[in-house]
Amino acid sequence: MTTIRFLTAQPPGSVLGAEPDMTESAEAYRATGGYDGATGPDELLRHLDASGLRGRGGAGFPAAVKLRAVREGGGGPVVVANGEEGEPGSVKDRWLLRARPHLVLDGLFRAAAVTGAVRGYVYLSDPEAGARVLRALAEREPPLPIEVVETDHTYVAGEETAVVRRIDGGPALPTAKPPRPFERGVGGAPTLVSNVETLARIALTAARPGLRQRIARSTLVTLSGGTGAPLLTEVPYGVPLRTLAAAHGTPDAAGALMGGLFGGLIGAQGLDLSLEPGALTAAGTALGCGAIRFLAADTCPVTAAAEAVGHLAAESARQCGVCVTGTAAVHDALRALAAGTAGPDTVGNLARWSRGLPGRGACGLLDAAAGTAGSLLRAFPEVLPSHLGAACPACAADSPAGGHGRLAVAVPEVTDAPLTAPR
């Protein structure tokens, strides 16, 4: 079971809110300052600029820049709350839509006011979340037409061009860029595709502009793997990864798989890094969607890499030939290393693919596979020689089954009984 808790005292302006295990009603949300019209669109945009709020969907793009680009695009903009999280180790977005749908909708309405949008969408694949969003919309009439669009849950379905394609009636598959959605998106209109946590932080900034820095510099993280139970928590930037490992129940972690499957592997020394996007990027990894999977002390990183790339290979949209063949080749090489059947050129091939494959697919899936392989070579060079020509006992004991299963984290339980007032 995935638990929800703060690691320290709950700070004001928290996305987790006072009752993270209950669905919040419109009445309860308004009682804490939600839907307050005191902060106008232009003022809100200035606050977002000043706070430096970045998107929480994975790319970390500045929220104010994205909002401004859509507003300046003209042509009846569209806003989309993107709640489809394809990373198997992330649960924050589905939890937000189940527990705090009004916070997300408030952020969506405010984004619409900033951009001048004429219609909006909530995009998701979780039926339970969809039902609670529909109920929230019935509790408070939206200021513009809002439609809930469901899709199948896949790794690529939340990519912004796949979101646009699905809302327009097509399959949830990425398209070539440019144009990007802010240029031409749903129905050909400039479109803001914004992660639901980003929208939640926009709403919190509007309600509590004096806390804008704290709101922008805190983030939801999903911690899993290792020897602890999965944990969803909210932490400020700057917390050492080692502190998160201990809080999760894996104090002796041998490393971690960062950013869902996009940040690659880091070794034990990497756990001294701070949870801060700039510091992580400079170290060659990434915060991504905030999903961190710790490696237990007895876990072989080769197995962890093979499992991650196996998931990516299975989730390929199969639109780009280089993605199909590239992810399969990387996965086969990592499985051979884990089994002790790798040839003398395997490590060299992985190094070459990690440099040459990124950027060649329509989305980031191929980049994630290549990056995972490259990060294994950088973070754990000492383990590779023992995998050439001999089976690794730790890999044999772990035996990943195709990359599916163990990477997935269950959404925390949220009682389907809306509060009528804060308790």
Which domains are present in the chain?
3-215 (3.40.50.11540), 217-295 (3.10.20.600), 301-398 (1.20.1440.230)
Q: What is the pLDDT, as a whole number, of residue 417?
A: 67
pLDDT (tens digit per residue) in 259-283:
989 899 999 999 999 999 999 999 9
Decide: 273 and 283 in contact? Cβ < 8 Å: yes
From the CB of residue 168, how many other CB atoms can be counted at a distance below 10 Å?
Answer: 12
Greater model confidence, 260 or 64: 64
pLDDT category of residue 334 using cuts at 50, 70 and 90: very high
pLDDT (tens digit per residue) in 181-202:
999 999 999 999 999 999 999 9
Q: What is the pLDDT, as a whole number, of residue 391?
A: 84
Measure the CA–CA gap between 344 and 64, rounded to whole angstroms. Answer: 50
pLDDT mean over 399-409: 65
- Residue 235: strand, helix, or coil: strand
Between strands 291-295 and 191-195, the pairing is unpaired
Q: Report the side by side order of strands in the sheet with 231-236.
A: 3-4, 231-236, 218-225, 291-295, 255-258, 264-267
pTM: 0.95
Q: What is the pLDDT, as a whole number, of residue 423?
A: 41
Measure the CA–CA gap between 239 and 171, rounded to whole angstroms. Answer: 40
Percent of all residues in the chain with a pLDDT value above 70, rounded to a whole number: 97
Measure the CA–CA gap between 172 and 155, rounded to whole angstroms. Answer: 10
Q: What angle do CA 147, 38, 34 make, to 5 degrees?
A: 50
Residue 224 is inside which H or E element, if any? strand 218-225
pLDDT of 37 > 60? The answer is: yes
Residue 59 is inside which H or E element, if any? none
CA nearest neighbour of 299 among 231, 227, 243, 351: 227
pLDDT of 401 > 80? The answer is: no
CA nearest neighbour of 224 among 197, 201, 204, 244: 244
pLDDT of 1 > 80? The answer is: yes
